[in-house]
């Protein structure tokens, strides 16, 4: 019998969490056992946890007194799981009938033993297919983003936005909103790198999995609804700060020192200017404010790291 555990990291996701868990209960499970549904709550201040106990699921809730970040919370959730497969699921995802059984069946196939991670086709509220897969980022792709070249030439982006996402294929990375992993692989990699508070943790995980010989696969025979943005929409400046910080960390972890330092310089010095220019062209004063707040936080964090810990990150 196939066995699956689901891990959901929650932070002020409101009613989305209830709808997500409800969709797990309603999904088809013929021949599939849900061992646990683990909700790791990162000190939410809303009522998002209310009502979820009423679901007919083996629910396990971990309440953190502070926001410990996405990677750490995922590792916490996985730490109480024992099933062969782990599904890391965002609370702004609503599963459809085939969302669980199809990808697990795919991974159970002996021909797919080298597939370590599976993502499925995600759609928005209009039923449009989201372009969610990505290449492993390079310095050139980050430079293209910083200068806005990826807007003119989509193939320069590490996001695979030029591909319509209508067919199955091996990819470098699937989005972390629906991230199905073999628990054996998760243990081999010691989980997510907790230095990534949020963002790039699944990119780093997928890259390390690839180094061990495991591929990521995008499966279109199953779908789910993904709202996107989630609770981070409420704190766009913080979201940008963590994304930029994780980008620099990824560079120093996986690029050579020279490339990583070029990336850090462009991110810290050049990109604030380009972001303000683009926001001005778009006449978005809110984007300017959010960018300036994010870069102020990033510079403070970097300077503190250098003076207190003697290293950039």
How many domains is the chain built from? Answer: 2
Same domain? 189 vs 113: yes
Measured between alpha carbons, how far is 223 from 96 in angstroms, rounded to an integer?
Answer: 6
Same domain? 237 vs 221: no
Question: Tens digit of pLDDT for each residue in 92-104?
Answer: 999 999 999 999 9
Mean pLDDT of 268-278: 95
Question: Tens digit of pLDDT for each residue in 246-255?
Answer: 999 999 999 9
Residue 149 located in a structural domain:
no
Residue 135 located in a structural domain:
no
pLDDT at 190 over 90: yes
Between the CA of residue 270 and those of 112, 135, 145, 266, 304, what are the distances in Å? 44, 24, 12, 5, 20
Same domain? 117 vs 249: no
Per-residue confidence (pLDDT) for residue 231, from 0 to 100 = 55
Residue 93 located in a structural domain:
yes
Residue 159 located in a structural domain:
no
Residue 295's pLDDT band (cuts 50, 70, 90):
very high
9 phi/psi in degrees, rounded to 5 = -95, 125
Residue 182 located in a structural domain:
yes
Please answer whether residues 191 and 86 qualify as being in contact, where contact means their C-beta atoms are separated by less than 8 angstroms: no
Question: Tens digit of pLDDT for each residue in 3-16?
Answer: 999 999 999 999 99
Same domain? 77 vs 89: yes
Total residue length of the chain: 313
pLDDT at 84 over 90: yes
Same domain? 224 vs 236: no
Please answer whether residues 194 and 72 qualify as being in contact, where contact means their C-beta atoms are separated by less than 8 angstroms: yes
Residue 142 token pair:
């980050």
Q: What's 174's domain CATH number? A: 3.90.550.10
Portion of the chain with pLDDT greater than 70, in percent = 97
Helix, strand and coil percent figures for the chain, each rounded to 5: 45, 20, 35
Same domain? 97 vs 188: yes
Residue 199 located in a structural domain:
yes
Mean pLDDT of 69-77: 98
Find all residues with CB under 8 Å of 192, minimum gap 6, and list them: 70, 71, 72, 74, 75, 201, 202, 204, 205
Q: Comparing C-alpha atoms, which of 200, 178, 166 is closest to residue 92? A: 178
Same domain? 121 vs 241: no
Measured between alpha carbons, how far is 170 from 114 in angstroms, rounded to an integer?
Answer: 11
Per-residue confidence (pLDDT) for residue 312, from 0 to 100 = 65
Q: What is the mean pLDDT of the chain?
A: 94
Per-residue confidence (pLDDT) for residue 234, from 0 to 100 = 60
Q: What letter would DSSP give residue 156? A: G
Beta bridge partners of 64: 42
Domain housing 236: 232-309
Same domain? 255 vs 126: no
Residue 287's pLDDT band (cuts 50, 70, 90):
very high
Question: Tens digit of pLDDT for each residue in 192-209?
Answer: 999 999 999 999 999 999
């Amino acid at each position: 019998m196939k066995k699956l555990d689901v891990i959901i990291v929650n932070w002020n996701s409101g009613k989305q969490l209830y709808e997500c868990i409800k969709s797990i209960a309603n999904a088809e499970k013929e021949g599939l056992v849900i061992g646990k549904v683990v909700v790791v709550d990162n000190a939410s201040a809303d009522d998002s946890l209310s009502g979820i106990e009423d679901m007919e699921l083996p629910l396990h809730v971990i309440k953190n007194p502070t926001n410990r970040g996405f990677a750490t919370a995922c590792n916490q959730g996985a730490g109480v799981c024992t099933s062969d497969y782990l599904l890391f699921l965002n609370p702004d995802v609503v599963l459809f009938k085939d969302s669980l059984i199809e990808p697990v069946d795919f991974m159970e196939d002996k021909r797919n033993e080298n597939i370590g991670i599976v993502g499925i086709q995600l759609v928005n509220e209009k039923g449009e297919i989201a372009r969610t897969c990505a290449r492993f980022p390079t310095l050139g792709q980050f430079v293209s983003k910083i200068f806005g070249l990826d807007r003119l030439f989509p193939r320069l982006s590490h996001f695979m936005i030029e591909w319509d996402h209508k067919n199955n294929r091996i990819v470098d990375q699937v989005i972390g909103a629906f991230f199905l992993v073999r628990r054996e692989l998760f243990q081999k990699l010691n989980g997510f790198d907790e230095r990534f508070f949020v963002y790039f943790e699944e990119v780093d995980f997928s890259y390390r999995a690839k180094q061990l010989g495991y591929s990521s696969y995008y499966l279109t025979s199953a779908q789910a609804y993904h709202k996107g943005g989630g609770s981070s929409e409420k704190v766009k400046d913080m979201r940008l700060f963590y994304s930029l910080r994780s980008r620099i960390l990824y560079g120093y972890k996986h690029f050579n020192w020279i490339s990583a330092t070029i990336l850090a310089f462009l991110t810290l010095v050049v990109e604030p200017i380009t972001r303000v220019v683009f926001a001005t062209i778009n006449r978005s004063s809110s984007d300017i404010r959010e960018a300036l707040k994010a870069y102020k936080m990033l510079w403070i964090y970097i300077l503190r790291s250098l003076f207190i810990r003697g290293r950039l990150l």
